[in-house]
A and B are shown apart, each in its own frame.
Chain A
Protein backbone atom coordinates (compact mmCIF):
# COMPACT_ATOMS: atom_id res chain seq x y z
CA UNK A 1 0.00 0.00 0.00
CA UNK A 2 2.87 2.35 0.85
CA UNK A 3 4.36 1.85 -2.60
CA UNK A 4 1.00 2.60 -4.20
CA UNK A 5 0.61 5.80 -2.14
CA UNK A 6 4.14 6.94 -3.05
CA UNK A 7 3.33 6.37 -6.69
CA UNK A 8 0.13 8.46 -6.42
CA UNK A 9 2.03 11.24 -4.61
CA UNK A 10 4.71 11.38 -7.31
CA UNK A 11 2.04 11.38 -10.04
CA UNK A 12 0.26 14.29 -8.34
CA UNK A 13 3.47 16.30 -8.06
CA UNK A 14 4.26 15.55 -11.70
CA UNK A 15 0.73 16.47 -12.83
CA UNK A 16 1.65 20.15 -12.63
CA UNK A 17 3.61 19.67 -15.88
CA UNK A 18 0.41 18.89 -17.74
CA UNK A 19 -1.50 21.87 -16.41
CA UNK A 20 -2.44 24.40 -19.09
CA UNK A 21 -2.47 28.10 -18.37
CA UNK A 22 -5.96 29.41 -17.49
CA UNK A 23 -7.16 32.21 -19.73
CA UNK A 24 -8.37 35.51 -18.35
CA UNK A 25 -11.91 36.53 -19.21
CA UNK A 26 -12.07 39.00 -22.13
CA UNK A 27 -14.26 41.27 -19.98
CA UNK A 28 -11.49 42.05 -17.48
CA UNK A 29 -9.83 44.60 -19.80
CA UNK A 30 -13.10 46.55 -20.04
CA UNK A 31 -13.43 46.51 -16.24
CA UNK A 32 -9.83 47.75 -15.86
CA UNK A 33 -10.46 50.68 -18.21
CA UNK A 34 -13.75 51.44 -16.44
CA UNK A 35 -11.95 51.52 -13.08
CA UNK A 36 -9.14 53.69 -14.46
CA UNK A 37 -11.65 56.23 -15.72
CA UNK A 38 -13.84 56.14 -12.60
CA UNK A 39 -11.18 56.62 -9.90
CA UNK A 40 -9.33 60.00 -9.73
CA UNK A 41 -5.88 60.30 -11.27
CA UNK A 42 -2.86 59.54 -9.02
CA UNK A 43 -1.88 63.25 -9.13
CA UNK A 44 -5.16 64.11 -7.41
CA UNK A 45 -4.65 61.30 -4.91
CA UNK A 46 -1.17 62.76 -4.28
CA UNK A 47 -2.72 66.20 -3.76
CA UNK A 48 -5.16 64.80 -1.22
CA UNK A 49 -2.26 63.11 0.58
CA UNK A 50 -0.30 66.40 0.72
CA UNK A 51 -3.39 68.16 2.12
CA UNK A 52 -3.78 65.43 4.77
CA UNK A 53 -0.11 65.70 5.79
CA UNK A 54 -0.29 69.52 5.86
CA UNK A 55 -3.36 69.38 8.15
CA UNK A 56 -1.62 66.87 10.41
CA UNK A 57 1.51 69.07 10.62
CA UNK A 58 -0.63 72.16 11.36
CA UNK A 59 -2.45 70.34 14.18
CA UNK A 60 0.87 69.09 15.58
CA UNK A 61 2.32 72.62 15.42
CA UNK A 62 -0.69 74.03 17.26
CA UNK A 63 -0.49 71.35 19.95
CA UNK A 64 3.22 72.15 20.37
CA UNK A 65 2.58 75.89 20.66
CA UNK A 66 -0.14 75.37 23.29
CA UNK A 67 2.11 73.01 25.25
CA UNK A 68 5.04 75.45 25.17
CA UNK A 69 2.80 78.29 26.39
CA UNK A 70 1.52 76.09 29.22
CA UNK A 71 5.08 75.17 30.20
CA UNK A 72 6.17 78.84 30.16
CA UNK A 73 3.25 79.98 32.35
CA UNK A 74 3.89 77.04 34.70
CA UNK A 75 7.57 78.11 35.04
CA UNK A 76 6.49 81.70 35.89
CA UNK A 77 4.02 80.35 38.43
CA UNK A 78 6.72 78.15 39.99
CA UNK A 79 9.06 81.18 40.23
CA UNK A 80 6.43 83.26 42.06
CA UNK A 81 5.71 80.35 44.44
CA UNK A 82 9.45 80.07 45.08
CA UNK A 83 9.60 83.82 45.86
CA UNK A 84 6.74 83.39 48.34
CA UNK A 85 8.48 80.46 50.01
CA UNK A 86 11.72 82.47 50.25
CA UNK A 87 9.87 85.43 51.78
CA UNK A 88 8.24 83.19 54.42
CA UNK A 89 11.60 81.56 55.15
CA UNK A 90 13.25 84.97 55.50
CA UNK A 91 10.46 86.20 57.81
CA UNK A 92 10.73 83.04 59.93
CA UNK A 93 14.52 83.47 60.17
CA UNK A 94 14.11 87.08 61.34
CA UNK A 95 11.41 86.03 63.84
CA UNK A 96 13.71 83.32 65.21
CA UNK A 97 16.57 85.78 65.65
CA UNK A 98 14.31 88.25 67.47
CA UNK A 99 12.89 85.60 69.83
CA UNK A 100 16.05 83.66 70.46
CA UNK A 101 16.56 82.53 74.01
CA UNK A 102 20.05 82.72 75.35
CA UNK A 103 20.36 80.16 78.08
Chain B
Protein backbone atom coordinates (compact mmCIF):
# COMPACT_ATOMS: atom_id res chain seq x y z
CA UNK B 1 0.00 0.00 0.00
CA UNK B 2 1.62 3.30 -1.05
CA UNK B 3 1.47 6.52 0.96
CA UNK B 4 -1.45 8.04 -1.00
CA UNK B 5 -3.59 4.93 -0.50
CA UNK B 6 -2.81 5.05 3.23
CA UNK B 7 -3.82 8.73 3.39
CA UNK B 8 -7.05 8.02 1.49
CA UNK B 9 -7.89 5.11 3.81
CA UNK B 10 -7.17 7.25 6.88
CA UNK B 11 -9.31 10.18 5.60
CA UNK B 12 -12.10 7.71 4.85
CA UNK B 13 -11.96 6.76 8.54
CA UNK B 14 -12.26 10.44 9.50
CA UNK B 15 -8.59 10.91 10.45
CA UNK B 16 -8.08 14.69 10.74
CA UNK B 17 -4.25 14.50 10.58
CA UNK B 18 -4.40 12.56 7.32
CA UNK B 19 -6.87 15.10 5.93
CA UNK B 20 -4.49 17.91 6.92
CA UNK B 21 -1.69 16.13 5.05
CA UNK B 22 -3.92 15.73 1.98
CA UNK B 23 -4.92 19.39 2.22
CA UNK B 24 -1.32 20.61 2.32
CA UNK B 25 -0.41 18.41 -0.65
CA UNK B 26 -3.11 19.83 -2.92
CA UNK B 27 -4.18 23.23 -1.51
CA UNK B 28 -1.81 25.34 -3.65
CA UNK B 29 -2.75 23.45 -6.82
CA UNK B 30 -6.47 23.90 -6.15
CA UNK B 31 -6.05 27.57 -5.22
CA UNK B 32 -3.85 28.32 -8.25
CA UNK B 33 -6.33 26.65 -10.62
CA UNK B 34 -9.29 28.50 -9.12
CA UNK B 35 -7.38 31.79 -9.15
CA UNK B 36 -6.32 31.41 -12.80
CA UNK B 37 -9.88 30.61 -13.87
CA UNK B 38 -11.81 33.05 -11.69
CA UNK B 39 -9.14 35.79 -11.65
CA UNK B 40 -10.44 36.90 -8.27
CA UNK B 41 -8.58 36.25 -5.00
CA UNK B 42 -11.54 35.94 -2.60
CA UNK B 43 -13.52 33.78 -5.01
CA UNK B 44 -10.52 31.48 -5.45
CA UNK B 45 -10.23 31.14 -1.66
CA UNK B 46 -13.94 30.33 -1.35
CA UNK B 47 -13.65 27.71 -4.10
CA UNK B 48 -10.59 26.14 -2.42
CA UNK B 49 -12.55 25.94 0.82
CA UNK B 50 -15.57 24.36 -0.91
CA UNK B 51 -13.36 21.86 -2.77
CA UNK B 52 -11.77 20.53 0.42
CA UNK B 53 -15.08 20.38 2.26
CA UNK B 54 -16.39 18.24 -0.62
CA UNK B 55 -13.21 16.15 -0.70
CA UNK B 56 -13.66 15.30 2.99
CA UNK B 57 -17.38 14.59 2.56
CA UNK B 58 -17.15 12.55 -0.65
CA UNK B 59 -13.91 10.64 -0.16
CA UNK B 60 -15.97 7.66 1.08
CA UNK B 61 -17.44 7.42 -2.43
CA UNK B 62 -14.01 7.78 -4.10
CA UNK B 63 -13.47 4.42 -5.85
CA UNK B 64 -9.76 4.98 -6.63
CA UNK B 65 -10.39 4.22 -10.33
CA UNK B 66 -8.67 7.52 -11.14
CA UNK B 67 -5.88 9.10 -9.12
CA UNK B 68 -6.67 11.32 -6.15
CA UNK B 69 -4.83 14.08 -8.02
CA UNK B 70 -7.26 14.10 -10.98
CA UNK B 71 -10.28 13.53 -8.71
CA UNK B 72 -9.44 16.71 -6.75
CA UNK B 73 -8.93 18.63 -10.01
CA UNK B 74 -12.30 17.31 -11.20
CA UNK B 75 -14.01 18.76 -8.12
CA UNK B 76 -12.11 22.05 -8.60
CA UNK B 77 -13.19 22.30 -12.25
CA UNK B 78 -16.80 21.61 -11.31
CA UNK B 79 -16.77 24.25 -8.54
CA UNK B 80 -15.19 26.81 -10.89
CA UNK B 81 -17.79 26.04 -13.58
CA UNK B 82 -20.57 26.62 -11.02
CA UNK B 83 -18.99 29.92 -9.95
CA UNK B 84 -18.63 31.01 -13.58
CA UNK B 85 -22.31 30.23 -14.25
CA UNK B 86 -23.26 32.29 -11.20
CA UNK B 87 -21.03 35.09 -12.47
CA UNK B 88 -22.64 35.06 -15.91
CA UNK B 89 -26.14 35.31 -14.45
CA UNK B 90 -24.97 38.16 -12.19
CA UNK B 91 -23.53 39.91 -15.25
CA UNK B 92 -26.83 39.53 -17.09
CA UNK B 93 -28.59 41.04 -14.08
CA UNK B 94 -25.99 43.82 -13.97
CA UNK B 95 -26.67 44.54 -17.63
CA UNK B 96 -30.38 44.89 -16.93
CA UNK B 97 -29.76 47.19 -13.95
CA UNK B 98 -27.27 49.24 -15.99
CA UNK B 99 -30.03 49.87 -18.56
CA UNK B 100 -31.90 51.78 -15.87
CA UNK B 101 -28.87 53.35 -14.18
CA UNK B 102 -25.91 53.60 -16.60
CA UNK B 103 -23.46 54.66 -13.86
CA UNK B 104 -23.97 51.34 -12.03
CA UNK B 105 -22.15 49.38 -14.73
CA UNK B 106 -18.75 50.12 -13.25
CA UNK B 107 -19.44 48.61 -9.85
CA UNK B 108 -20.24 45.19 -11.42
CA UNK B 109 -16.96 45.02 -13.34
CA UNK B 110 -14.16 42.96 -11.81
CA UNK B 111 -11.04 44.89 -10.88
CA UNK B 112 -7.91 44.41 -12.97
CA UNK B 113 -6.33 41.07 -12.12
CA UNK B 114 -2.69 40.41 -11.29
CA UNK B 115 -1.63 36.81 -10.67
CA UNK B 116 0.62 36.70 -7.56
CA UNK B 117 2.99 34.28 -9.31
CA UNK B 118 3.88 36.73 -12.09
CA UNK B 119 7.62 37.23 -12.58
CA UNK B 120 8.46 40.96 -12.74
CA UNK B 121 10.15 40.74 -16.13
CA UNK B 122 7.08 39.04 -17.66
CA UNK B 123 4.44 41.01 -15.76
CA UNK B 124 3.08 42.98 -18.74
CA UNK B 125 2.89 39.87 -20.93
CA UNK B 126 1.19 37.89 -18.14
CA UNK B 127 -1.36 40.66 -17.59
CA UNK B 128 -2.20 40.73 -21.29
CA UNK B 129 -2.48 36.94 -21.32
CA UNK B 130 -4.87 36.84 -18.35
CA UNK B 131 -6.99 39.63 -19.86
CA UNK B 132 -7.31 37.58 -23.04
CA UNK B 133 -7.82 34.31 -21.13
CA UNK B 134 -10.84 35.76 -19.37
CA UNK B 135 -12.51 36.41 -22.72
CA UNK B 136 -12.29 32.78 -23.86
CA UNK B 137 -15.21 30.33 -23.70
CA UNK B 138 -15.26 28.67 -20.22
CA UNK B 139 -14.18 25.22 -21.46
CA UNK B 140 -11.29 26.62 -23.50
CA UNK B 141 -10.22 28.68 -20.49
CA UNK B 142 -10.30 25.60 -18.24
CA UNK B 143 -8.39 23.39 -20.68
CA UNK B 144 -5.72 26.09 -21.12
CA UNK B 145 -5.42 26.63 -17.34
CA UNK B 146 -5.13 22.92 -16.53
CA UNK B 147 -2.70 22.08 -19.32
CA UNK B 148 -0.58 25.22 -19.69
CA UNK B 149 -0.68 26.76 -16.22
CA UNK B 150 -1.07 23.68 -14.00
CA UNK B 151 1.00 21.45 -16.29
CA UNK B 152 -1.47 18.57 -16.47
CA UNK B 153 -1.11 16.12 -19.36
CA UNK B 154 -3.82 15.82 -22.05
CA UNK B 155 -5.07 12.66 -20.34
CA UNK B 156 -5.21 14.26 -16.88
CA UNK B 157 -6.90 17.38 -18.29
CA UNK B 158 -9.47 15.17 -20.02
CA UNK B 159 -10.17 13.27 -16.78
CA UNK B 160 -10.48 16.48 -14.76
CA UNK B 161 -12.85 17.98 -17.34
CA UNK B 162 -14.79 14.73 -17.74
CA UNK B 163 -14.13 14.58 -21.48
CA UNK B 164 -11.92 12.84 -24.04
CA UNK B 165 -8.30 13.54 -24.92
CA UNK B 166 -9.35 14.45 -28.47
CA UNK B 167 -11.81 17.01 -27.12
CA UNK B 168 -9.07 18.52 -24.94
CA UNK B 169 -6.73 18.75 -27.96
CA UNK B 170 -9.45 20.52 -29.92
CA UNK B 171 -10.23 22.88 -27.00
CA UNK B 172 -6.54 23.76 -26.64
CA UNK B 173 -6.15 24.37 -30.36
CA UNK B 174 -9.11 26.74 -30.38
CA UNK B 175 -7.95 28.39 -27.15
CA UNK B 176 -4.54 29.12 -28.70
CA UNK B 177 -6.09 30.48 -31.90
CA UNK B 178 -8.49 32.71 -29.97
CA UNK B 179 -5.79 33.89 -27.59
CA UNK B 180 -3.59 34.87 -30.55
CA UNK B 181 -6.44 36.88 -32.08
CA UNK B 182 -7.35 38.55 -28.76
CA UNK B 183 -3.74 39.38 -27.87
CA UNK B 184 -3.13 40.69 -31.35
CA UNK B 185 -6.01 43.15 -31.13
CA UNK B 186 -4.99 44.05 -27.53
CA UNK B 187 -1.45 45.00 -28.60
CA UNK B 188 -2.70 46.73 -31.76
CA UNK B 189 -4.96 48.97 -29.67
CA UNK B 190 -2.16 49.60 -27.17
CA UNK B 191 0.26 50.66 -29.90
CA UNK B 192 -2.35 52.89 -31.56
CA UNK B 193 -3.23 54.47 -28.20
CA UNK B 194 0.38 55.20 -27.34
CA UNK B 195 0.99 56.58 -30.86
CA UNK B 196 -2.02 58.90 -30.65
CA UNK B 197 -1.06 60.11 -27.17
CA UNK B 198 2.48 60.80 -28.42
CA UNK B 199 1.04 62.72 -31.39
CA UNK B 200 -1.21 64.85 -29.15
CA UNK B 201 1.75 65.51 -26.85
CA UNK B 202 3.88 66.64 -29.81
CA UNK B 203 1.04 68.86 -31.10
CA UNK B 204 0.76 70.49 -27.68
CA UNK B 205 4.45 71.40 -27.87
Contact = CB atoms under 8 A, between A and B. Distances in A.
B149 A19 contact: yes
Contact of B49 (A16, A20, A28): A28
Given A13-B183, A19-B126, A19-B149, A25 B45 contact: yes
Nearest to B117: A20
B180 A22 contact: no
B119 A22 contact: no
Interface string A57-86: 000000000000000000000000000000
Contacts of A23: 28, 31, 116
Interface in A1-40: 1, 4-6, 8-9, 11-16, 18-25, 28-29, 31-33, 35-36, 39
A16 to B, nearest CB: 5
Nearest to B126: A15
Given A5-B188, A22-B32, A24-B28, A29 B20 contact: yes
Nearest to A27: B45
- A interface majority secondary structure: helix
Contacts of A11: 122, 125
Chain A residues touching B, range: 20 to 34
Given A21-B117, A22-B31, A5 B184 contact: yes
A6 to B, nearest CB: 8
B45 A24 contact: yes
A47 interface: no
A13 B126 contact: no
A32 B23 contact: yes
A24 B187 contact: no
A9 B31 contact: no
A1 B184 CA distance: 11
Nearest to B23: A29
A28 B45 CA distance: 7
Contacts of A9: 180, 183-184, 187
Nearest to B27: A24
A16 B117 CA distance: 10
Given A13-B180, A28-B49, A36 B30 contact: no
B179 interface: yes
Nearest to B144: A16
A20 B183 contact: no
A13 B56 contact: no
27 contacts: A5-B188, A8-B187, A9-B183, A9-B184, A11-B122, A12-B132, A13-B176, A15-B122, A15-B125, A15-B129, A19-B117, A21-B28, A21-B32, A22-B31, A22-B32, A22-B35, A22-B116, A22-B117, A24-B31, A25-B45, A29-B52, A32-B49, A32-B56, A33-B16, A35-B49, A36-B53, A39-B53
Interface of A: 1, 4-6, 8-9, 11-16, 18-25, 28-29, 31-33, 35-36, 39, 42
